[in-house]
Structure 1
């Protein structure tokens, strides 16, 4: 049996990549709005792919990283058109819980400067996720909720902080003794 290549419907009928991306984007928007109704929820790229395949009946042999950005860009633009927060912030990588470089499109279309590094991007995405939860009616804690990293990334950050050596205090330039918390050398 020959394996299907490209993009196709469940019936086996081939369709164009553009058509598949458009259909998947409509389904992705619905999936992400539903997800945004649960505080601190996220979905991995792979989980989103599986939901899109199931909802649309459309499949592809293309690697996920070769088409998911096209779908999420359409979601980003649709969110902007509707005045919704960027739903793409809810989609994270399986291995580290980060949004990935494609999230920079959110910054670009909102006129914000590019993220300086991955953690700056993640902090922006955390704020966008909170905006999604608020906008789409998630049950929030009494304080209104807080921006949060995706759970897997938060665990990594906490583990790194726990393993990091304590910060060194400054040394007195005269006697080279570590300064106390007051910052004033007791020996000089």
Structure 2
């Protein structure tokens, strides 16, 4: 599965946005508010910063969705939205990225679009606990299985953004990490092959027959 490390053509990184007392008039980083605008060092509130980051996340996630089965790590996305919005935080992104993805999910639901937030994953391949909460708030119904739900949403995102699809149009696909964990858990419980929800070879979600159409 492809993983995006930022969107194409972006040469800057968050490190280039750190202020220094270099004679330019910008205050030293230690004197800046915890969340601030790079342009002038002015303070930005938590809600305003999350809105700015959510707005910046949308085009990045749309770019990710242009490649079938691509995803982006939450830490990578968190860095990129700060670069693109010009609003940066000294707080670790793990404390706020889920709230930003919640805003993205709500925006997608309001547009009657598949959830771009499903493309944002953690290093363990999962969408994290915030995904199910965001879906529940945005659509009024909790997903029975957050990872299977996210796989279906990702497929819809790829289709909507015109990604080159495999023969047959593709299938909802768990990330390799999530699929591997579920495979090991089911094997440990001694469940038969047909009970597995994903193919252990290609990680495609299996139909009710238990036979993978892609690997036949």
TM-score after normalising by structure 2: 0.67
- Trace 1:19-168 onto structure 2 (pairs within 5 A): 19-94=48-123, 96-104=124-132, 105-115=134-144, 120-158=145-183, 160=184, 164=188, 166=190
Separation (CA, whole Å) in 1 of partners of 2:100 and 2:189? 42
Higher relative contact order (CA 8 A, sep 6+): 1
* Counterpart check, 1:6 vs 2:30: no
The structural deviation recorded for 1:165 is 7.0
Q: Measured at CA, do residues 25 and 167 of structure 1 come closer, stay the same or move farther in structure 2, by a change above 3 Å?
A: closer
The structural deviation recorded for 1:151 is 2.9
Unaligned 5+ residue runs, structure 2?
1-27, 193-216
Separation (CA, whole Å) in 2 of partners of 1:17 and 1:167? 47
Cα RMSD over matched residues?
2.2
What is the aligned partner in structure 1 of residue 45 from structure 2? 16
Q: Is the 8 A contact 1:87 1:129 kept in 2?
A: yes
Residue 173 of structure 2 aligns to a residue in which SS?
A: coil
Bigger Rg over Cα: 1
Unaligned 5+ residue runs, structure 1?
169-188
Q: Is the 8 A contact 2:65 2:161 kept in 1?
A: yes
The structural deviation recorded for 1:101 is 1.2
Per-residue CA deviation, residues 144-172 of structure 1 (Å, 9 max, x unaligned), is 101111233234444x269637559xxxx
Number of residue pairs aligned between Structure 1 and Structure 2? 162
Structure 1 stretches of at least 4 aligned residues deviating more than 6 Å after TM superposition: none
